[in-house]
Structure 1
Amino acid sequence: MQFNLNGKIAVVTGAAQGIGMAIAGSLLAEGAEVVINDRDETRVDAAVTKLHAAHPGATVRGVAADLASAEGCAHLVAEVPRCDILVNNAAIFETVDFFDVSDDTWNRYWAVNVMSGVRLSRAYLPAMRERNWGRVVFIDSECGISTPPDMLHYATTKTAVLGLSRGLAKRMAGTGVTVNAVLPGPTLSEGVEAMLKAETERTGKNLEEVGTEVLKTLRPSSITKRFQTAQEVANLVLYTCSPLSSGTTGAALRADGGVADTPI
């Protein structure tokens, strides 16, 4: 199967590690020119170096910007005025009780998880429409359709993103531009590894063993019975970014290991 992304310019936000990094690598492997974004310039530079090493000859560069602000989004757009493929991956998450979440935290989650995608889509979609080709993918979460009570603020933003992606797909109706959401489940990224580190140190068990036990407690509905890999999520994202997905738009596509207990 050939995804044929030669000549396409892709922007992947929150891509210094984890799912974003895997997506960037997959797009590079298929010929796209990739711009990765993250907040910290040192992390961005390290990620670009790593991607260059893994994909010799590919074109990749980084732009450090905090997409929680309008200024940060504007900086990214100024640095990358053309975008054929936009992957809105930047997000923050944590497990915390609803009653311990402050207004400031709610506002921060909304700014990063929702408004960054709003602003970048608003900036890039008009030119995609004029060219009659473009791909916008929101990296959502199974939490958006199966709200866990210990991540209520995060899940609420992810439910909002589902509405945003579906609405934008309708706004692009009749064009060659598609907008979709991809919903990962529990994924063994660097962020999740950091959350599990204390338990591995306490029990002496390895990351896979601890992850399996945590999954049994927190996501017993999982069908794969394991954390997904970042690459497994990236594989589905790659399809949605490719010319092969021209008939797929306005969709919520799951890469969650069957965690969400619904067939759609």
Structure 2
Amino acid sequence: MKIDLSGKTAVVTGSTAGIGLAIARGLAESGATVVINGRTQEAVDKAVAAVAAEVPGASLAGLAADLGTAEGCAALVAAHPACDILVNNLGIYKNQDFFDTPDEEWTRFFDINVLSGVRLSRAYVPGMEKNGWGRVVFIGSESAFNIPADMIHYGFSKTAVVSIARGLAKRLAGTGVTVNSVLPGPTLSDGLVDSLKDEAEKTGKSVEELAAEFVVAKRPSSIIRRASTVEEVANMVVYACSQQASATTGASLRVDGGVVDSL
């Protein structure tokens, strides 16, 4: 299967590192023009340079904007008024007990993890519908179904994302625009890798080994018994954005290593 996205423009939010950067790279490798986003110009420039170095001839643009705000979303749309592919990847997480999580933190997670995708979908999807083709992907999480007791506010935000993707897919029935959510499990993103570096130095174990131990301890239902790579998650997203995925919509596509124990 050869995925060819030549002539398509993709916006990937929160794409200066981790899963988002891998998605941007994967879409660029498939020929799409990719708009990379982060909060600072330095991070955006670094990510654009990294993808350009890895994907010779890639067509890339970058925009620094805080998409957790209405103003940031408006700035992105003003700079790039149309796209064929929208990947709502932006998201944050934080371990915090339910009884220690104030209203402000719930609101912050909702603004960043949920409303950013809502605002951008509202802005970009009408153009896709008019063109009769489009792809929208929301990055959810296995935590949308397997709600973590130590960060309920995060699980809630990801459940909301999956619900929005399903509902929007139904709203766009018959238009040629597909909407799906992709659900990573524990993934070797920058955040997890950074959190394990000290332990790796102390124990002499690799980050991959420690991540596998974490998965077994914290996500014992995992079938692959290790953390996924960012490329494995990106592969699913690129497929969902492809011409070949035209009959896949309204789906929650798992890249969770089998953590969610459901048929």
Matched, 1:160 2:160: yes
**In structure 1, what is the Cα distance between the partners aligned to 2:252 and 2:94?**
23
1:141 counterpart residue number: 141
Deviation by residue 1:166-198 (Cα, 9 ceiling, x = unmatched): 010011111100000000000001011122234
2:247 counterpart residue number: 247
2:109 counterpart residue number: 109
**In structure 2, what is the Cα distance between the partners aligned to 1:58 and 1:218?**
39
Counterpart AA for 2:223: I
Deviation by residue 1:230-250 (Cα, 9 ceiling, x = unmatched): 000111111100010110000
Instruction: Count how many residue pairs are aligned between Structure 1 and Structure 2.
Output: 263
Counterpart AA for 1:149: A
The answer to whether the 8 Å contact 2:33/2:60 transfers is: yes
**What aligned pairs does 1:2-151 form with structure 2 within 5 A after superposition?**
2-151=2-151
**In structure 2, what is the Cα distance between the partners aligned to 1:88 and 1:25?**
15
Counterpart AA for 2:85: I
1:259 counterpart residue number: 259
- Structure 2 SS opposite 1:37: strand
Q: Post-superposition shift, 1:203?
A: 3.3
**In structure 1, what is the Cα distance between the partners aligned to 2:143 and 2:261?**
11
**In structure 2, what is the Cα distance between the partners aligned to 1:159 and 1:262?**
16
Q: TM-score, normalising length from structure 2?
A: 0.98
Q: Post-superposition shift, 1:138?
A: 0.3
Which segment is superposed worse, 31-40 or 94-103?
94-103
Q: Post-superposition shift, 1:205?
A: 2.6
**In structure 1, what is the Cα distance between the partners aligned to 2:253 and 2:209?**
28
**In structure 1, what is the Cα distance between the partners aligned to 2:151 and 2:220?**
16
Structure 1 runs not aligned, ≥5 long? none
**In structure 2, what is the Cα distance between the partners aligned to 1:224 and 1:61?**
36
**What aligned pairs does 1:180-199 form with structure 2 within 5 A after superposition?**
180-199=180-199
**In structure 2, what is the Cα distance between the partners aligned to 1:229 and 1:151?**
22
Q: Post-superposition shift, 1:78?
A: 0.6
Measured on the aligned residues, the alpha-carbon RMSD in Å equals 1.0
**In structure 2, what is the Cα distance between the partners aligned to 1:30 and 1:211?**
30
1:214 counterpart residue number: 214
Q: Post-superposition shift, 1:202?
A: 4.2
Counterpart AA for 1:54: E
Structure 2 runs not aligned, ≥5 long? none
Q: TM-score, normalising length from structure 1?
A: 0.97
- Structure 1 SS opposite 2:11: strand
Counterpart AA for 2:63: V
Deviation by residue 1:114-156 (Cα, 9 ceiling, x = unmatched): 0000000000010100000000000100000110101211000
**In structure 2, what is the Cα distance between the partners aligned to 1:30 and 1:212?**
31
